[in-house]
Amino acid sequence: AQKVTQAQTEISVVEKEDVTLDCVYETRDTTYYLFWYKQPPSGELVFLIRRNSFDEQNEISGRYSWNFQKSTSSFNFTITASQVVDSAVYFCALSEAGGGADGLTFGKGTHLIIQP
Amino acid sequence: KAGVTQTPRYLIKTRGQQVTLSCSPISGHRSVSWYQQTPGQGLQFLFEYFSETQRNKGNFPGRFSGRQFSNSRSEMNVSTLELGDSALYLCASSLDLWAGEAFFGQGTRLTVV
């Protein structure tokens, strides 16, 4: 069975600090996808990134960057120079190739609080 | 381009009643998935529909059901409501059957009293 663990329940930092959200996953599949979603107070989940299991290249998008390491089954997310607008709950998720019976398997989420 | 629309946004029902939630996916998207979000269990997969057929189903009792129409709009139904069904129900729209990124609606907040 698939499993995603986000050990950090809540993180609070001061604006402009860098922050890393951890994600560790478990799967028996060799082909899978990893995702990060942001959930602001309004409720909808906002897609941030998808990474497939064969692409371990790190990705940077503006202030956001992702570090995928298959050797440690981790897919960590770093926000550089955090801003108050980054405050939200962030979810890491996993899916088998083609979906599979479990759809997206989500971690419990990390509540990120950016203080001004 | 309009996003995923879920109606209603908020709902209060009594134990034992049934409820129907609606989801209109992004135009052109053929896959619709449903998720239940609760403080205790987090986000859990309910089911996925593609081309009017249920393709995958999560570990929920038969009281939870759904369907998809020819225009890709989807409904989910919960019968004989229990207090534990109180949750945020999120609908996700994808271009294809788990082709990749999913776009979520704002959800329907169901409260069972």
- Nearest chain A CA: its distance from B95 CA (Å): 13
Tokens of B112: 């069972």
Q: In A, which residues are within 8 Å of B106 by CB distance?
A: 42-44
Q: Give me the residue label for tokens 């299991």.
A: A53
Q: Which of A44, A55, A61 to mutate to test the interface with B (most CBs of B within 10 A)?
A: A44
Q: Which residue of B has its CA nearest to A41?
A: B106
Highest-confidence segment of A96-100, B26-30, B80-84: B80-84
- Say whether B56 and A99 touch across the interface (CB within 8 A): yes
Tokens of B110: 């169901």
Q: What is the pLDDT of residues B86-104, one digit of tens each?
A: 999 999 998 877 656 789 9
- Say whether A103 and B56 touch across the interface (CB within 8 A): yes
Considering only residues A2 and A85, tell me which one the structure prediction assigns the higher pLDDT.
A85
Residue A17, amino acid: E
Chain centroid to Cα B34, Å, comes to 3
